[in-house]
Amino acid sequence: MGVNPAAPKEQEAKRPTRMGPWRFVVWFGTVSLLADFVYEGARSITGPLLASLGASALVVGVVTGAGEAAALGLRLVSGPLADRTRRFWGLAISGYALTVVAVPLLGVTGVLWAACALVVAERVGKAVRSPAKDTLLSHATAATGRGRGFAVHEAMDQIGALVGPLLVAGVLALTGNDYGPALGVLAVPGIAVLLLLFWLRARVPDPEAYEREVEAAAAGPLVAQDGRLPRAFWTYAAFTAATTTGFATFGVLSYHLVERHLLGAAWVPVLYAAAMAVDAVAALATGWLYDHYGARVLVTLPVLTAGVVALAFTDTLAIAVAGSLVWGAAMGIQESTLRATVADLVPSGRRATAYGLFAGVVGAASLAGGALTGGLYGHSIPMLITVVVAIQVLALVLLAVTRVTRR
């Protein structure tokens, strides 16, 4: 009987056993840590940088707003594209490459229109990579536990989000506010991002094999024969939209703290850093709980969202600070366990599309939430609290009718 000598090599190329699923999650988390180091470092000074090139407050607002719209809205295109082409690694690497190239260039451009284009390009990079990245990660978390896997990834994300801005601030202080060196130094972790991604793709060319190896109880098809997303996904998206619509932005929280003279402006970044630390802890805790108790752990998110407005908008510093830390805990759940649940609702063949649509829902709800909380804050804080609590009750109802099948 003849043996094809190429067969073992082909099989080896598709097997992820050269790296365990937890190692894959940690290395992918390292990629995100370094990438956050780069783009969060840049985003921390985007406003002053554009102003130094002659931008007005209106231009800064329009450009940064357009960037955030691109980061979320374009995922409606990149998600289906990833599912259709199955080029998850290619899209992830391309998106990261666009970001890590755009950021150092910001430091050397001396023209306002070019800097504006680079700010938007960095956000487009996030839109290109995110659905593919989340899908790759979802395959490994099928073996590690969805909640814990996404939680570890989010916690590592936050390390980069903390260190990057601190490094940029340090370089600015040493160079007399020279943006060139402050952004140029971010090229180093950017290069590391790309090198690590290529190495990781070579080691694990087919992450979906992790999920194929996991023995799951048969629960019936989660997607119809015509390729439509399951009904539970849409109900879950509605729950997410509701709880996000009532979620106050940190901008509104910090506005309250400074305008009511509860906290000096110089202390706001310190409070934000503390909230990011709580974010990481909350992600790890709820991720573990999700793997043990399922989607019922998400009940905590509407409760925390309501708690933010009830605490943060008081005139007592300690209570307002506590509200800001509760905000960080809610962010940790949003960035980890919410994404993990999507992977349990949608089969892998349509998962990138689902992540793209989910990001669109979150983006629209975030915009509505910022407008709602900001508008009601200026009108009546008691009314703001009442409306947000009512929205969170609706979110709990929507969560109750969402049936999540954990894999």
- Look at residue 225 in the predicted model and tell me its pLDDT: 43
3-class DSSP state of 344: helix
The Cβ of residue 387 has, within 10 Å, a number of other Cβ atoms equal to: 17
Please provide the DSSP assignment of 1-47 as one string: ----THHHHHHHHH--TTS-HHHHHHHHHHHHHHHHHHHHHHHTTHH
Taking the chain (407 residues) in runs of 10, the rounded mean pLDDT of each run is 42 56 94 91 78 78 75 88 93 95 90 91 92 93 89 88 83 85 92 96 91 58 58 90 83 78 72 83 91 88 92 91 92 88 87 90 79 79 90 91 61
In 3D space, the residue among 296, 316, 301 whose CA is nearest the CA of residue 393 turns out to be: 301
Instruction: Summarize pLDDT for 300-332 with one digit per residue, the tens.
Output: 999 999 999 899 888 899 999 999 899 989 988
Residue 223 near residue 346, CB atoms below 8 Å: yes
Q: What is the dihedral of CA 161, 133, 286, 159, to 10 degrees?
A: -20
The Cβ of residue 280 has, within 10 Å, a number of other Cβ atoms equal to: 24
- Look at residue 277 in the predicted model and tell me its pLDDT: 84
Give whole-number Cα distances, 375 to 59, 160, 369, 372, in Å. Answer: 22, 33, 10, 5
Radius of gyration of the chain measured on its C-alpha atoms: 22
Structure-block tokens of residue 309: 């407005």
Q: Which amino acid is at 323?
A: G
User: Helix axis angle, 337-345 relative to 112-144, nearest 10°?
Assistant: 60
- Look at residue 299 in the predicted model and tell me its pLDDT: 92
Backbone angles phi, psi at 226, to 5 degrees: -85, 5
Percent of the chain with pLDDT over 90: 37
Q: Where are the alpha helices (DSSP H) in 176-299?
A: 179-184, 187-203, 208-213, 231-245, 250-259, 268-293
Residue 139 near residue 82, CB atoms below 8 Å: no
Which positions ≥6 away from 331 have C-beta within 8 Å? 275, 279, 282
The Cβ of residue 234 has, within 10 Å, a number of other Cβ atoms equal to: 16
- Look at residue 2 in the predicted model and tell me its pLDDT: 44
d(CA 21, CA 140): 5
d(CA 385, CA 105): 44
In 3D space, the residue among 171, 202, 177, 178 whose CA is nearest the CA of residue 16 turns out to be: 202
Which positions ≥6 away from 316 have C-beta within 8 Å? 262
Burial class for 345, CB neighbours closer than 10 Å (0-12, 13-18, 19+) = buried
Q: Taken in order 379, 382, 385, 390, is the CA torsion positive or negative?
A: negative
Q: What is the largest CA-CA distance in the chain?
A: 84
Residue 247 near residue 389, CB atoms below 8 Å: no
- Look at residue 61 in the predicted model and tell me its pLDDT: 63
The Cβ of residue 249 has, within 10 Å, a number of other Cβ atoms equal to: 16
- Look at residue 4 in the predicted model and tell me its pLDDT: 46
Give whole-number Cα distances, 325 to 218, 281, 282, 313, 333, in Å. Answer: 40, 11, 10, 13, 13
Cα–chain center distance at 13: 30
